[in-house]
Amino acid sequence: MIHIFKKGINDNTLLLLHGTGGDEHDLLDVGNIIDPNANILSVRGNVKEAEMNRFFRRLSPGVFDLEDLDVRTRELYDFINEASRKYGFNRKKVIAIGYSNGANIAASMLFTIENALLGAILLRPMVPRKDKELVTNSNTSIFIAAGLYDNICPPEETNELVSYLKVKNKEVRLEWIKANHRLTYDELLLIKEWYNERFI
């Protein structure tokens, strides 16, 4: 997969996953705010919708192609494993930061692959799928930043996602941000505090 890798000075690796129409450069500043000392693995989604990069296909806005989601989730997981061997980072200390479509593929990994991530920061996520029993991630801490006025992901969907994840993961923190689908600087500071308490 097309990506950027930057070596850091601590043992954590931030896996950065952009939103629809973005690329591997989009979340570099976000990663730098949250942990300027971590390794960065920022990946470009392999799917094109018109000219826009995505991590998996959708049939229409909010309606996901579940077969493709399965394949792409596994592809991303394999890529992380391969990258950890190539660049020599600690595979056990990967924390995903995904925005929108990138949050949805990170959530799909949490739903379907055991202990794939040490942490997941899901910015404006949706429920990736409802047709499978979730796997257990006993070590994974999750932070969800939902927008109170987000018209792409309604509040009921966020609450549904949290209720699924709470049963199978170590910890799920939900924060309602006074924002729409766009990220705010203040929420990144809140996330940084949460991150420092767990991973530094």
**What positions carry a catalytic annotation?**
100, 150, 181
Tell me the closest approach of the beta carbon of residue 26 to ligand MLT, in angstroms: 12
Helix, strand, coil shares of the chain as percentages rounded to 5?
35, 30, 35
Distance from C-alpha of 109 to C-alpha of 97, rounded to nearest angstrom: 13
Nearer to ligand MLT, 55 or 194 (CB): 55
Residues in contact with ligand MLT by CB under 6 A are 19-20, 58, 61-62, 100-101, 104, 126, 152
Tell me the closest approach of the beta carbon of residue 49 to ligand MLT, in angstroms: 9
Nearest C-alpha neighbor of 106 from the set 27, 15, 30? 15
Tell me the closest approach of the beta carbon of residue 105 to ligand MLT, in angstroms: 8
Tell me the closest approach of the beta carbon of residue 19 to ligand MLT, in angstroms: 5
Distance from C-alpha of 143 to C-alpha of 146, rounded to nearest angstrom: 10
Nearer to ligand MLT, 60 or 138 (CB): 60
Nearer to ligand MLT, 152 or 174 (CB): 152
Instruction: Say how many C-beta atoms besides its own lie within 10 A of residue 150's C-beta.
Output: 20
115 Ramachandran zone, left/alpha/beta (phi>0; psi -120 to 50): left
Nearer to ligand MLT, 62 or 155 (CB): 62
Q: Specify the pairing of strand 137-147 against strand 119-123.
A: parallel
Nearer to ligand MLT, 164 or 195 (CB): 164
Tell me the closest approach of the beta carbon of residue 14 to ligand MLT, in angstroms: 20
111 Ramachandran zone, left/alpha/beta (phi>0; psi -120 to 50): alpha
At 165, give phi and psi (nearest 5°).
-70, -35
